């Protein structure tokens, strides 16, 4: 079922599916805990697995694997702004939109289209009134629980 992933790695909140392209990460996907693991076969997937294990033990551990080119120009600007948010901090879609001369909905769409969650920490962008959505999901469930776990892990106490 999930054999299209080059690795499926354990995570405290479930699993992380990884797709690679050459020596780069092409996509990272949050998966439910019951997803069968797949050992990383490539060097870049093995490097990401080691870095994720370190991050789960210490939220200050760096995630710096090479990423494949992805996204529109606007999405890349949003992702660059997200990558600048320090661990333990959050910003709102509105604040990010103001900084990019855009609107919150467009920023939210770019966040949801982030192909590299964790490495580009879109969980650090929240709504003005609370948690906000995550990975194009706004209903309670697995993905919002993942966002809550990541924020708690990084020392942010939200909902």
- The catalytic site residues sit at 122
Query: Parallel, antiparallel, or unpaired: how do β-strands 91-92 and 24-31 relate?
Result: unpaired
- Cα 84 to its chain centre, rounded Å, is 14
Residue carrying the six token digits 């606007």: 74
- Residue 37 DSSP label: P
Provide, for the chain, the percentages of residues in helix, strand and coil under a 3-state DSSP scheme, each rounded to the nearest 5. 35, 20, 45
């Amino acid at each position: 079922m999930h054999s299209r992933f080059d690795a499926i790695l354990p995570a405290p909140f479930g699993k992380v599916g990884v797709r690679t392209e050459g020596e780069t990460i092409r996509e990272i996907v949050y998966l439910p805990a019951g997803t069968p693991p797949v050992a990383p076969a490539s060097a870049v997937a093995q490097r990401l697995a080691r870095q994720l294990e370190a991050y789960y033990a210490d939220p200050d551990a760096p995630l710096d694997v090479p990423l494949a080119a992805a996204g529109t120009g606007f999405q890349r600007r949003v992702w660059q702004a997200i990558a600048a948010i320090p661990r333990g901090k959050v910003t709102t879609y509105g604040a990010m939109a103001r900084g990019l001369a855009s609107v919150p909905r467009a920023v939210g769409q770019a966040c949801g289209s982030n192909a590299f969650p964790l490495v580009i920490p879109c969980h650090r962008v929240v709504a003005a009134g609370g948690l906000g959505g995550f990975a194009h999901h706004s209903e309670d469930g697995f993905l919002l629980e993942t966002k809550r776990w990541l924020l708690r892990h990084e020392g942010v106490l939200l909902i």
